[in-house]
């Protein structure tokens, strides 16, 4: 009896070893390609929120960490990418979260230039209702471009609301909560940027080698 158990145990261990080895090999073989894909993806998104050509550094390598539950919607560290022209910072792309979407967090990236004007916003991830709330994706609707060239005039800026609440941004038919959350998150990230502009622009790049 004991004999069978130990024999089976060994066989099981052998299989575990072989399978792990195969997975490890695949991981090793695909690691670089995956990193390349992720960089490519990141670049594609960064290009959409900060106009290409307005900066000349390798944007995706120059990233600083941010952390603000109040303005960026998460206790965790998030990334922000600083665009430089020569040695002067000209714009920043801040990752942020709208914590009050209809169905949980909405991950966004907000491009803001040094004057505090929004250069572009894109949705990175969300679980909003398909067909209603998912119009925040650029592939579904160009609503998200309505943030372009907007400035925020402090906390009480009434324009930064959906039209239903007296602001300037459209809501969607049947979905007000989603655009309301996004508008608020974008506004907050601009305020965050203005308050921390000095630090964000002077900090040395941290996550350069990772991604």
Cα 44 from Cα 55, distance rounded (Å)? 15
Smallest CA-to-CA distance from 119 within 45, 63, 197, 174 is with: 45
Q: Determine, following the binding rule CB under 8 A, whether residue 104 of this chain makes contact with another protein.
A: no
User: Min. distance of Cβ 31 from another protein in angstroms?
Assistant: 8
Phi–psi pair at 87, nearest 5 degrees:
-115, 5
Q: Based on CB atoms, which residue is closest to another protein, 95 or 128?
A: 128
User: Min. distance of Cβ 88 from another protein in angstroms?
Assistant: 34
173 contact partners, CB below 8 Å, separation of at least 6: 132
Q: Determine, following the binding rule CB under 8 A, whether residue 13 of this chain makes contact with another protein.
A: no
Q: Which of residues 167-196 bind another protein (CB under 8 A)?
A: 173-174
Which of 12, 76, 163, 164 is close enough to bind another protein by CB under 8 A? Answer: 12
Q: Which range binds another protein by CB under 8 A, 15-23, 60-68, 85-93, 197-205?
A: 15-23
Using the CB atoms, write b or e for 36-61: b if 16+ within 10 Å.
eeeeeebeebbbbbbbeeebebebbe
Q: Determine, following the binding rule CB under 8 A, whether residue 208 of this chain makes contact with another protein.
A: no
Q: Determine, following the binding rule CB under 8 A, whether residue 69 of this chain makes contact with another protein.
A: no
Binding mask 32-61 for another protein (x = CB under 8 A): -xx--x--xx--------------------
> Which two tokens mark 179?
């655009």
Task: Give the count of residues interacting with another protein (CB under 8 A).
Answer: 26
Specify burial of residue 170 (Cβ count, 10 A radius: 0-12, 13-18, 19+).
middle
* CB-based contact 128:141 (threshold 8 Å): no
Which of 26, 54, 67, 145 is close enough to bind another protein by CB under 8 A? Answer: 26
Q: Based on CB atoms, which residue is closest to another protein, 33 or 87?
A: 33
Q: Determine, following the binding rule CB under 8 A, whether residue 210 of this chain makes contact with another protein.
A: no
Which of 132, 138, 151, 207 is close enough to bind another protein by CB under 8 A? Answer: 132
Annotate 110-153 with DSSP letters as a single string: EEEETTSBEEEEEEEE--PPTTTGGGGSTTT-SGGGGGTT-B--
Instruction: Kindly list the residues in this chain that would bind another protein in the complex (CB under 8 A).
Output: 4, 7-8, 11-12, 15-16, 19-20, 22-23, 26-27, 30, 33-34, 37, 40-41, 129-132, 139, 173-174
């Amino acid at each position: 009896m004991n004999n069978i158990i130990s024999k089976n145990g060994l066989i099981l261990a052998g299989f575990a070893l072989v399978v792990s080895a195969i997975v490890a090999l695949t991981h090793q073989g695909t690691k670089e390609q995956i990193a390349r894909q992720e960089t490519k993806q990141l670049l594609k998104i960064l290009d959409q929120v900060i106009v290409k050509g307005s900066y000349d550094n390798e944007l995706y390598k120059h990233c600083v960490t941010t952390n603000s539950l109040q303005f960026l919607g998460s206790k965790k560290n998030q990334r922000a990418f600083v665009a430089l022209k020569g040695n002067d910072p000209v714009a920043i792309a801040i990752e942020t979260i709208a914590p009050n979407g209809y169905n949980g967090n909405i991950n966004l990236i907000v491009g803001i230039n040094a004057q505090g004007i929004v250069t572009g916003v894109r949705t990175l991830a969300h679980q909003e209702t398909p067909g209603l709330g998912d119009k925040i994706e650029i592939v579904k609707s160009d609503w998200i471009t309505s943030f372009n060239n907007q400035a925020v005039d402090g906390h009480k800026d009434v324009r930064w609301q959906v039209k239903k609440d007296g602001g300037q941004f459209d809501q969607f038919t049947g979905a007000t909560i989603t655009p309301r959350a996004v508008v608020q998150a974008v506004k907050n990230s601009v305020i965050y940027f203005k308050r921390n502009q000095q630090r964000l622009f002077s900090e040395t790049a941290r996550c350069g080698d990772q991604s």
